[in-house]
Amino acid sequence: MNEQRQRLKQRLASGSTVWFAGAQDALSALLVDQSAFDGVFTTGFGISASLLGQPDMELYTLSENLGVVDHIANVVSKPIFADADTGYGNVLNTQRTVRAFEKAGVAALSIEDQVSPKRCPAAATASITLPLAEAVAKIHAAVDARRDPDLLIVARTDVMDAQEALDRAAHYAEAGADLIQPISRTFSSYDDLVRLRETCGRPLSLQLMEGTWMAALNRAQIESVAGFATYPIVSLLTVVQALRNNLEALAARRGEPMGELPCPRATMADFKHLIGWHELEQRQAHYELGSTSGKR
């Protein structure tokens, strides 16, 4: 059994809300891990942008997504909530996806009910969802695929009609989903989330995207309905704007002293501490100097 998964599941069962921040690569995940957030969310939107420089339309593969998640799992100590998109195919593909992410060490993963390849509803004008029976079958398959019962399955519905979303949420819960994740465009108020929570009988997983009504909810409202509360792309968009501002300023003064730039930078000493430079130097010296002195 994975102790991290056990603790996360116990915390969810206690009624607490777990707060996640998004990461698109191992470096951003390290920063989340060293912050006051409870865990790391591996955002598919961010991974597609960071890895491919392309939008979240499921252009990257299971293996590419998993590769990033595996790198993240290698450097963080907090629980990982992974974006597993549509499961990358049918019920059998979904089962393979669940087992692969479970093996990588994630504590939770989300499966959405769009057709594959999907389009991120935060950016797309429209999304196409699976028929209800097929979507329910995928959640059932995902639940059956996990070898560790403490791995949490989050079922996301991208349907736009509120009543249909309520119906799907109830079916996904019945199929074994541990949490239900709505998209902000389907509902319009806190009362809608309360109704969704009561209908499905499961805690919600909320994605708090800047500019959406969900992000304007207060903490008490969020924690009354949500088991997971996530800021998925703040780190991604922060990096984009900071790089854009500094590169523009730096390019304008090429050949001149660098001076101050619009966005502050970490010092080299701080950066080396962040990525564990000194710890690896010490480990290398332990083995290499130990070998040369005859120590074993």
Instruction: Show which residues are catalytic.
Output: 120
- Residue 39's nearest CA partner among 68, 82, 80 is 80
| Burial class of residue 261 (count of CB atoms within 10 Å of its CB; 0-12, 13-18, 19+) | middle
Distance in angstroms (rounded) separating the CA atoms of residues 47 and 43: 6
**What's the CA gap between 212 and 223, in Å, rounded?**
17
Alpha-carbon separation of residue 189 from 54, 118, 156, 215, 221 (angstroms): 32, 26, 18, 11, 11
Q: Where are the beta strands (DSSP E) in the chain?
A: 18-23, 39-42, 80-83, 108-112, 152-156, 179-181, 204-207, 226-231
